[in-house]
Chain A
């Protein structure tokens, strides 16, 4: 019996939509979710457009039957995980070995920021409940409990490739026959902490970001949550769910060059992509679409572009950066893009870049400009590269 890993569920919430149908409509209508933030209060509010989820904490809580005082991270995470499991009968989770693997960089920092404001002024004030869920791990545990997933729960924190790594781990646990059903992905919410930090690295664009463009100026921060439900064939035979695709390959490497920048030749990305292709048994020419990490920073897009050239030149598949619509959702980005990739295979669609004028000089990388349906999409490659040199590539197949 082969131990293929099937994707039987997906859920997502981001600046472009609160669920899958809304997200796909946004791409079709070419509507970017990057604009002035409404919910995040910061002195930078007018300065930087952000990919903020349109729902407030109160609305998220109300929609999901949760306490609105919970951190936004927990609210977003549960919202997306719930959508991912929506086609699973409740009994399924009880009858099989289940896992929840979630990734985050910020954890409950949004609430901690709020707590610190009060605490620094008056150390007896500030609701301690606000920092109870500060740790990344606590958010995962809370959501796992609400989802009634008990066999295995863990948190991964490897910057922007975190949730892609969560998906890899989920697949490994299924292949090694330790778990049957795993909800894997990630979440991050916007915080002043992250905005100030990225701004100090001077890699944030004051306008809508322009990934893959010669005149790009940096990234737009975003927030969101996304989860895939991975299952083995045994579960599929018993429950007969509608499968989106399978996870046919993946690879994780370290670029080993600098804490926050990739090597010029894109060595880490190159090895990760090649490794994922090798595992899936595919030739580069068989990839129909690449969902690039494409943050819009000088460094990432050149390095990733160079790595893609090294593998695919002269026959490039369709490619784009969906971060131009959602913003860079950090810990959630690997999973957000994995969800888009899985949907691309299921629905035979290709996502565009929001905008594009001039290719990066020295490279011949031209992204898709229009959302396309009825494309022939059999294999999709999705890239996620994080600070600390952590590089992960996933391959999804029909």
Chain B
């Protein structure tokens, strides 16, 4: 602990942040989430053998679970009194560069999105969001976000008078029409309220594990969770019969979370984000 202007500052060595993030990026791309593996235990539909063996091969060989190792997104919750020894953005981008070039993960980022689309060759830049919190820690959430699932992201600017039933229908229709293109059984993240950008952000945060999402309310008490709505959506998704890989057998959606935020009197933003079945999300807390 160092003193600075009378405030109690906590210094965290950026080398530790770098190492922990590197390990997490390796882990998230090669070690399947145990809950996903369990989900497939009793699945014997199309490609059951390939899906199960892939998890074992990736774990033992350290080859990536999917060739699309994604664009890396970071959501960082940083204590207002935490002092890092290097700029955080540099540390995170260095970690992505090191892991993606050093482990044979796909370099899948192009600069100049509309015209040249030239590969940056090191999978950077990452997408980085930093939020200040009132805790002496840095909590780094990361997702290796594949392009197939990202293409399903969407925002609806609904009317404030919209019925609950129509909101449910809007979400279910979107999933019904698109889940077959995103490597089901998918994870559905819903963000309601805020502004258009806030809603999208919430829908991304909603893709993380329930135990991680629980922390959100402690970081920002205005972020709420509609658990009952998530359960109702999950039940409707179970009737879709899109199935594993869109081939009609097994679950379509493995998990749904709905996060909410205060909004403007004239608006009802509804954002939907989707993650693929591999659920490559992880968080590291450094104290």
A and B: interacting chains = no
